[in-house]
A = this chain, B = another copy of it.
Amino acid sequence: MAGRKSKRDEPCPVARGVDLVGERWALLIVRDAFDGVRRFGDFQRSLGVARNILADRLRLLVEDGILACQPASDGSAYQEYVLTAKGQDLFPLIVALRRWGELHLFAPGEAHSVLVRRDSGETLGARELALRTADGRELSAAELQVRKVPGRAPR
* Residue positions of A touching B, CB distance < 8 A: 4-5, 11-18, 20-24, 27-28, 31, 34-35, 45-46, 48, 65, 86, 88-106, 111-119, 123-124, 128-136, 139-149, 151-152, 154-155
Contacts and interface: CB of A to CB of B under 8 A. Distances in A.
A20 B155 CA distance: 25
Contacts of A4: 24
B147 A116 contact: yes
6 contacts: A13-B98, A14-B27, A17-B105, A45-B154, A46-B154, A118-B144
B103 A93 contact: no
Nearest to A116: B147
A145 B34 CA distance: 8
Contact of A128 (B101, B114, B123, B134): B134
B89 A100 contact: yes
A134 B131 contact: no
Contact of A16 (B101, B140, B154): B101
A114 B146 contact: yes
Contact of A132 (B24, B45, B134): B134
Contacts of A140: 91
A133 to B, nearest CB: 6
Contacts of A111: 11, 149, 151-152
Given A22-B24, A149-B111, A96 B93 contact: yes
